[in-house]
Amino acid sequence: MSAIARGAGAAPGTNTPAGETRPLLELKDVHTHIGAYHILHGVDLTVPAGQVTMLLGRNGAGKTTTLRTIMGLWKASQGNVRFDGEAAGGPGVRVSPPDMARRGVAYVPENMGIFADLSVKENILLAARGAANASQLDTARLEWIFGFFPALRKFWLHPAGKLSGGQKQMLAVARAIIEPRRLLLIDEPSKGLAPAIVQNMIDAFIELKQAATTILLVEQNFNFARQVGDRVAVMDDGRVVHAGGMAQLAEDEALQMRLLGLSLGSHQ
CB-based contact 185:213 (threshold 8 Å): no
pLDDT at res. 10: 36
Query: Domain check: are 50 and 148 in the same one?
Result: no
In-domain check, residue 128: yes
Query: Domain check: are 224 and 96 in the same one?
Result: yes
Cα-based distances in Å from 212 to 15, 51, 94, 229: 14, 7, 29, 13
Query: Domain check: are 154 and 199 in the same one?
Result: no
Q: Using alpha carbons only, what angle is made at residue 48 by residues 89 and 56, rounded to the nearest 5 degrees?
A: 80
Query: Domain check: are 159 and 247 in the same one?
Result: no
In-domain check, residue 10: no
Query: Domain check: are 174 and 200 in the same one?
Result: no
Expressed as residue numbers, the domain containing 138 is 114-179
In-domain check, residue 73: yes
Reduce the DSSP state of residue 115 to 3 states and report it: coil
Residue 81: φ, ψ to 5°: -115, 130
136: number of Cβ within 10 Å: 11
Percent of the chain scoring above 90 in pLDDT: 71
pTM confidence score: 0.88
Query: Domain check: are 128 and 218 in the same one?
Result: no
Query: Domain check: are 253 and 187 in the same one?
Result: yes
pLDDT at res. 9: 39
Q: Is the pLDDT of residue 46 over 70?
A: yes
CB-based contact 218:184 (threshold 8 Å): no
Classify residue 165 by burial, with Cβ atoms within 10 Å: 0-12, 13-18, 19+: exposed
In-domain check, residue 26: no
In-domain check, residue 15: no
Query: Domain check: are 197 and 246 in the same one?
Result: yes
Q: Is the pLDDT of residue 32 over 60?
A: yes
Query: Domain check: are 174 and 185 in the same one?
Result: no
Per residue in 162-218, pLDDT (tens digit) is 999 889 999 999 999 999 999 999 999 988 788 888 998 899 999 999 999 999 999
Query: Domain check: are 99 and 189 in the same one?
Result: yes
Comparing CA positions, the residue from 47, 30, 149 lying closest to residue 91 is 30
pLDDT band at 43 (very low <50, low <70, confident <90, very high): very high
